[in-house]
Amino acid sequence: RMNADPYRNADVVWIADDVRPEMEMQLRDHEDELARKRQALYADKWSLERAISEEEVEEEDLRKASQQLKTAHDMLVDAANRLDLAAAITNQAAQRLSEYAALRDGLKVRGVGVGRTDNKERHEQRQKGALCAAILFWTARQQQHPRSMIQVCETLHIQRKHCSRALNELKVHFLE
């Protein structure tokens, strides 16, 4: 009989009730090692340093991830400059962008750009813009240099509802 809970993560290895304790520890260690490797892979895939350096990447998946992160980073830095935010705030926001991408394995935000998405590029632009707006809004507020959501959204040409949805996603992943 397995201790399987259908509501838990599917990547977790379930251990049978009749497994010896020393084997259970080995299975848990193996599971932890796999989780660390998966986390390192995503961290490398969504590496901000590699995306900014523009070094040529042969693997298509890594190249697309670098391109997406580079365009989002450029959008974030440009908006931060137009909002007259300090370099420290911009750097922290860029780091959060990279961490979010690694956690979610992408820059997608639930509820942003849904509906008719005939133009895939516009849809992706809206998602990146909403995420950048939410990150800038949140980071500036935490660093005691707040900007209004209206001001941040107008800078990035994003609707407030999309920024709010992205902000809710950030709060889920970066509870502080």
CA 102 and chain centroid, separation: 5
Buried b (16+ CB within 10 A) or exposed e, 2-21: eeeeeeeeeeeeeeeeeeee
Average of per-residue pLDDT values in the chain: 77
Considering the chain, what percentage of its residues have pLDDT values greater than 70?
67
Q: Model confidence over 83-114: pLDDT tens digits?
A: 999 999 999 999 888 888 887 777 888 777 65
Q: Which two tokens stand for residue 114?
A: 């849904």
Q: pTM of this prediction?
A: 0.69
Q: Model confidence over 21-51: pLDDT tens digits?
A: 667 777 777 777 776 666 655 556 666 665 6
Burial class (CB in 10 A: 0-12, 13-18, 19+), 51: buried
80, 93 contact by CB (below 8 A): yes
